[in-house]
Structure 1
Amino acid sequence: MHATTPPPSTWWSRNWKWCVPVLAALLLALFAAFVFGILMLVFGAMKSSEPYRHAMKQAQTDPAVTAALGAPIQAGWLVQGNFSSNGPDGEANLSIPLDGPKADGTLFVVAKKHAGEWRYETLAVNVDGGERIVLEDDAAMPLP
């Protein structure tokens, strides 16, 4: 009898059992990083917008909001809503979670931009528990 030696096995045939799950996990991690990057770009654009910055400044300096939420007031991570700006025109409709030492709340902003100037239709804080504090925009008030 003549014994034949089996053909040499390839790298893939020896290692596919661990290689396939590792490649799948790597692809899943890359996809998650891509989605996370897109979300960070969107949230970064919202948080750098003029309506967001103006509303946060108003909320952080308003005595009624400071009394209700405590100081310091920080913005939460997940800003909801939409923001669009096209040259001299634009609009913003934002819901910004607020965190304070005493309580939490939500800052609502509805603004429109015409001829390069933002006008705020709604600028209010809803404190968790039901109280609503309307913020006054001193910059939009007519001078006497």
Structure 2
Amino acid sequence: MPSTMPEGDYAPVPRQGWWSRNWKWAVPVGCLGMLGSCFCLAAIAVGWGYSSFKDMGAYTDAIAEAQEDPHVQQALGGTFKPGFPSNTQVSTRNGRTHAEFTVPLDGPKADGNLHAVADKNGEAWIFRTLYVQVEDGQRIDLLDTGEPSAEPPEPEVPHELEPEDAEPSEPPAQKKPGKDTDIEL
């Protein structure tokens, strides 16, 4: 029987697999694809978080208060643009939402930062802290309405209760470090 397989120099070279032929371009494309998808997912997460934060009532109320305040308009030079919020913390526990955030404000005359601390119990946001810190050091409190507070002022101590003959107390004697004292740091 004659042999059907060629022998010697005429034998066909076994064909290489796909990976052996294409790994030089497949590895870089695969790595770049993975990095690109991670970047896209991170961008989507940041964008979603930012858009949900901008829609939050505390943010919109704080920006509205700052835009309506004449002192802020005067310090920043009229209308301003709110920037990307930083130092943002929002937490919800037992139906009570607490938010703390700082928003940079870019005005034509000066820049500043809007600082807010607010709580939401039910539907309305109640600000505990709301002020604009201008870059020149001026602090504009947005919760200070300039009206007298509804709370009665602290009663002063009557003068007849203070001793009239009281001599000023002497400062404590100088103590040497490490002797007759508590631990000093």
Place the TM-score, normalised by the shorter chain, in its bin. Answer: 0.7 to 0.9
Point out the structure with max Rg over C-alpha.
Answer: 2
Q: SS of the residue aligned with 1:8?
A: coil
Which residue among 75, 99, 110 is the counterpart of 1:103? Answer: 110
Report the alpha carbon displacement of residue 9 of structure 1 after superposing the two structures with TM: 2.2
Q: Show the counterpart of 1:2.
A: 8
Which residue among 36, 48, 54 is the counterpart of 2:55? Answer: 48
Fraction of identical pairs, as percent: 35
Greater helix share, 1 or 2?
Answer: 1
Moved more, 79-88 or 113-122: 79-88
Greater strand share, 1 or 2?
Answer: 1
RMSD of aligned residue pairs (Cα, Å): 2.3
Greater relative CO (CA pairs within 8 A, separation 6+): 1
Q: Which 4+ runs in 1 deviate beyond 6 A?
A: none
Structure 1 letter corresponding to 2:37:
L
| Unmatched runs of 5 consecutive residues or more in structure 1 | none
Query: For the residues of structure 1 that align with 2:14 and 2:135, how far apart are their CA atoms?
Result: 72
CA contact (8 A) 1:88 1:116 kept: no
Report the alpha carbon displacement of residue 88 of structure 1 after superposing the two structures with TM: 5.2
Q: SS of the residue aligned with 1:42?
A: helix
- Cα shift readout 1:29-49 (whole Å, capped 9, x = no counterpart): 101111111111211221111
Q: 1:137 to 1:57 in 2, by over 3 A?
A: farther
Which residue among 114, 125, 142 is the counterpart of 1:135? Answer: 142
Q: Show the counterpart of 1:25.
A: 32
Q: SS of the residue aligned with 1:112?
A: strand
TM-score of the pair, normalised by structure 1: 0.85
Q: How many residues align?
A: 141
